Amino acid sequence: MGATYYYVNHDKLQYFDCGLAHQNSKFSGLGTGLGARALAILLSDRGTWQGDRISVIDDFSSAFLDIFRGYLDIQVEALLMLFDVDGLEWIESGLEDSPDRFALACEIATYLKRRDVMHMLERKFGSGKWQERYSQLLKTDRSRQPQEFSAASSRQLVTLLKPTAR
């Protein structure tokens, strides 16, 4: 199977899977995809990780257990940051072809009540139809477990972007 890699902020005690949104989280996925895009934003002058101590750690590392237990997994916040910075086009373009993208959009709409995502799903599938389709997907794919979205909906989501000057 191989190791799963994580981007880690040791100053803010945060981490997220480099394979954000069910993309490649193996060594070959480092620096690519949505995880790398989120990391670039976080390290930019707009992000809250600028100047912090950052590393990449795999789940076989001796330090990973301490990170897993003591740091906050900000995967959901990183995805929301991508919506805020890049818009919804990146997820909307894959809704029909990718069950992972469709499930991700449904989880954000269902658990986080993100109105822009709800409207996108209704526009794409019809009012109320996306919920039916998502329900069917959950019945046929038992591996889907949206715990991170359920957990995120019950905690205070951290903001990963610096406030913009007006």
Domain spans of the chain, in order of start: 1-86, 87-157
* pLDDT tens digits, 30-85: 998 999 999 999 999 999 999 999 999 999 999 999 999 999 999 999 999 999 99
Higher pLDDT, 155 or 113: 113
Say whether pLDDT at 166 is over 70. no
* pLDDT tens digits, 1-34: 689 999 999 999 999 999 988 788 899 899 989 9
Determine the pLDDT at residue 35: 95
Say whether pLDDT at 116 is over 90. yes
pTM value is 0.85
Contact yes or no for 88/79 (Cβ under 8 A): no
Contacts of 44 (CB under 8 A, 6+ apart): 50
Pairing state of beta strands 14-17 and 5-9? antiparallel
Determine the pLDDT at residue 2: 84
Higher pLDDT, 138 or 153: 138
Closest CA to 53 of 64, 61, 45, 42: 42
Task: Specify the 3-state DSSP secondary structure of 161.
Answer: strand
Angle between helices 33-43 and 75-86 (to 10 degrees): 80
Say whether pLDDT at 165 is over 70. no
Its sign, for the CA torsion 24, 46, 13, 79, is negative
